[in-house]
Amino acid sequence: CVLCRRAEADPDICGHKREKYGLCAHVFCLCFAMSLSRQENPRIGLMGFRPRDIQLAVSRAAQKHCCVCGETGATIMCCEEDCDRWFHLPCAREGGCVTQYITAYRCPGNC
């Protein structure tokens, strides 16, 4: 997955992998990544996420360290007010991070 950088990850946490345009990403990694917005048409790009936007998110994440594993490439920021911690989605459980899918904010369809 270009976002969490894990070849194998728990599909219950990260979702299944999708591949298109030479990009491979877990469904939930796409949905949770900061600064990624989904287009209304799911046929655009990878599940509605434009390839250039995914690459930009990967570039930005290269500067962010995961608060759990310490590696760079963290794409998800804690949503708690005044918290500036970042993490990889597969690290969430180990780090005690809570991931929550709220209906109003879920990706339509596969998320």
Q: Are 103 and 90 in contact (CB under 8 A)?
A: no
DSSP of 38-49: --SSTTSTBTTB
| Bridge partners, 76 (sequence order) | 87
Look at residue 102 in the predicted model and tell me its pLDDT: 53
Q: What's the pLDDT at 104?
A: 47
Query: Fold for domain 11-95?
Result: Herpes Virus-1 (3.30.40)
* Per-residue confidence (pLDDT) for residue 101, from 0 to 100: 57
- The predicted pLDDT at position 79 comes to 81
Tell me the domain boundaries of the chain.
11-95
Give the pLDDT score at 100. 64
Number of Cβ within 10 Å of residue 14's Cβ equals 25
pLDDT in tens, the chain (111 residues): 999 998 888 888 888 999 999 999 999 999 889 888 888 888 888 989 999 999 999 999 999 999 999 999 999 988 888 888 899 999 987 877 776 655 444 444 444
pLDDT score recorded for residue 9: 87
CA distance 3 to 73: 7
- Largest separation between any pair of C-alpha atoms in the chain: 37
